[in-house]
Amino acid sequence: MRLTTKGRFAVTAMLDVALYAGDAPVTLAAISARQKISLSYLEQLFGKLRRNGLVDSVRGPGGGYQLARTPDAMTIAEIIRAVDEPIDATQCGGRENCHDDRRCMTHELWAGLNAHIFGFLRGVTLADLVAQQKPRQTDVVVMKDHRVATAPTTVDAA
């Protein structure tokens, strides 16, 4: 389980889709504008997300991307793993030639730690993040098709 900005970008983008997709799919251009991520980088990321079955794509005008599943069935762990491909982790990637005395002490060390972190991130879904986001977000702002804001809600606590 690697955890870099790349994975964060992916999660952020997916959260954007979850938030802004109504019936119509969300275009990468829109995500790029809202989240300030380069369009081509998004294309790369969504290519992986699509090939991993996390999003569906619709081509042509009015096209874009949609979540392949409901947000509550989409875990953060999946998203990160989809874009952070090589989850090798143990530095000797399966080969047994690590050492002579004992086999690369870190084998099960990281396997265990990974399992824990992975387990944790598998317990968090996009729906959780949406819920966390909504309260200070309900004034959905000006969407592309001039859907205007409602009431600006709460200021946060911490």
Partner DNA sequence: GATTACTTGACTAATTTATTCGGGAATTGG
Partner DNA sequence: CCAATTCCCGAATAAATTAGTCAAGTAATC
Task: Give the footprint of a second copy on this chain (CB under 8 A).
Answer: 1-5, 8, 11-12, 15-16, 34-36, 76-78, 81, 87-91, 93-94, 96, 98-99, 101-103, 105-118, 120-122, 124, 129, 132-133, 136-137, 140-144, 148-149, 151-157
Query: Is 110 one of the binding residues for DNA (CB under 7 A)?
Result: no
Rounded least distance, CB 113 to DNA, Å: 16
Identify what 69 binds: a second copy, DNA, none; CB under 5 to 8 Å per kind: none
Check if the beta carbon of residue 32 is closer than 8 Å to that of residue 67. no
Cβ nearer to a second copy, comparing 29 with 87:
87
Q: Which two tokens stand for residue 113?
A: 């730690």
DSSP letter at 83?
A: H
Size of the residue set binding DNA (CB under 7 A): 31
Q: First and final CA of the chain: distance in angstroms? A: 29
Residues 6+ apart with CB under 8 A from 32: 38, 39, 42
Query: Is 103 one of the binding residues for DNA (CB under 7 A)?
Result: no
Closest CA to 46 of 1, 8, 83, 16: 83
Cβ nearer to DNA, comparing 38 with 150:
38
Which of 84, 106, 118, 130 forms a contact with DNA (CB under 7 A)? Answer: 84
Residues 6+ apart with CB under 8 A from 142: 148, 149
Identify what 135 binds: DNA, a second copy, none; CB under 5 to 8 Å per kind: none
Closest CA to 78 of 131, 19, 11, 9: 11
Identify what 72 binds: DNA, a second copy, none; CB under 5 to 8 Å per kind: none
